[in-house]
């Protein structure tokens, strides 16, 4: 018997599919209560789990008239970028669209992915759940840095050939110039790949290049706690911004992050 969460997601999925592509007046969108289950239903209809080269990303896209609704979704999840995409000149009757995209690995892992689950159950009910499960493998490969290895790149690309347009297509010529291997072969290759040391190692939730104290480049906020001013906190958007503002070298900040030591009354925490 389906649990309450699954019943709700099926209900919201049907509502979103009926709504998809239609204009939602402000008076209606303002009354929509965004919840985890509502959002999963919407994602079942309009979400895309994909990559940009080897970077995993999640995207919602629809008619520009749904801007207010997308703003509410962005407010609910509190991550992602909203963009307006101009009409496509190569498409008849193409309109401006609104896009909500999340491509930061920390936000994908800590915020978006948990939203797809109710306990251990995946809330997605359509074939989108298949894309999601394959996409999770891509997220893991990318997070651990295997995408920087030839073996990892090969498996990454092999997984993509089972997702989205490749899963949905009836145009077999789309696969003329590619070789798609079976899911079981992918699983075997993944098992062998994970026997190799990952290029990145994770220390307290932070990624470093293996056997170094060098952080993997990514958008990471740095929280600085100033013990000289009642432990006031300042958030910086990057290492460079933090170093410039406090007149402390990047090397010293990295050292403090790695050891937990303070410097000149400042403590540093990655967020």
Between 48-62, 71-85, 228-242, the lowest mean confidence (pLDDT) is in: 228-242
Using the predicted structure, report yes or no on whether residue 93 has a pLDDT greater than 60.
no
**Per-domain residue ranges for the chain?**
1-125, 127-199, 220-270
29-37, long-range: CB < 8 A, 24+ apart: 29/66, 29/68, 29/69, 29/72, 30/68, 32/69, 32/72, 34/72, 34/73, 34/75, 34/76, 36/115, 36/118, 36/123, 37/5, 37/8, 37/9, 37/12, 37/118, 37/123
Q: Which helix (H) or strand (E) holds 232?
A: strand 232-236
Which has the higher per-residue pLDDT, 19 or 117? Answer: 117
Architecture (CATH level 2) of domain 1-125: Roll (3.10)
Instruction: Give pLDDT, residue 170.
Output: 55
Residue with tokens 């098992």: 191
Between 37-46, 80-89, 121-130, the lowest mean confidence (pLDDT) is in: 80-89
Closest CA to 142 of 114, 195, 106, 181: 106
User: pLDDT-based confidence at 259, cuts 50/70/90?
Assistant: confident
pLDDT digits (tens, 9 = 90+) for 139-184: 999 999 999 999 999 999 999 999 887 776 555 666 667 788 999 9
**What's the CA gap between 269 and 231, in Å, rounded?**
13
Q: What is the pTM of this model?
A: 0.72
Instruction: Give pLDDT, residue 219.
Output: 54
């Amino acid at each position: 018997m389906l649990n309450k969460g699954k019943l709700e997601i099926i209900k919201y999925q049907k509502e979103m599919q009926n709504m998809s592509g239609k204009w939602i007046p402000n008076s209606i969108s303002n009354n929509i209560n965004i919840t985890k289950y509502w959002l999963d239903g919407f994602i079942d209809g309009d979400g895309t789990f994909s990559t940009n080269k080897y970077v995993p990303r999640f995207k919602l896209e629809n008619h520009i008239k749904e801007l207010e609704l997308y703003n509410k979704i962005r407010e609910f999840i509190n991550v992602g970028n909203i963009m307006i995409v101009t009409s496509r000149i190569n498409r008849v009757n193409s309109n401006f669209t609104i896009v909500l995209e999340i491509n930061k690995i920390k936000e994908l892992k800590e915020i978006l992915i948990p939203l797809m689950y109710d306990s251990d159950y995946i809330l997605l009910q359509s074939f989108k759940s298949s894309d999601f499960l394959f996409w999770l493998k891509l997220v893991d490969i990318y997070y651990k840095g295997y995408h920087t290895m030839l073996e990892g790149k090969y498996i990454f690309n092999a997984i993509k050939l089972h997702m989205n347009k490749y899963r949905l297509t009836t145009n077999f010529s789309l696969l003329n110039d590619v070789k798609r291997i079976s899911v079981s072969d992918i699983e075997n290759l993944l098992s062998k790949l994970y026997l190799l040391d990952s290029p990145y190692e994770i220390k307290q939730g932070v990624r470093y290049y293996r056997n170094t104290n060098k952080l993997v480049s990514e958008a990471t906020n740095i929280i600085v706690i100033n013990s000289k001013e009642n432990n006031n906190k300042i958030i910086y958007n990057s290492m460079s911004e933090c170093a410039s503002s406090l007149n402390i070298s990047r090397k010293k900040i990295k050292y403090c992050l790695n050891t937990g030591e303070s410097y000149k009354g400042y403590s540093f925490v990655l967020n």
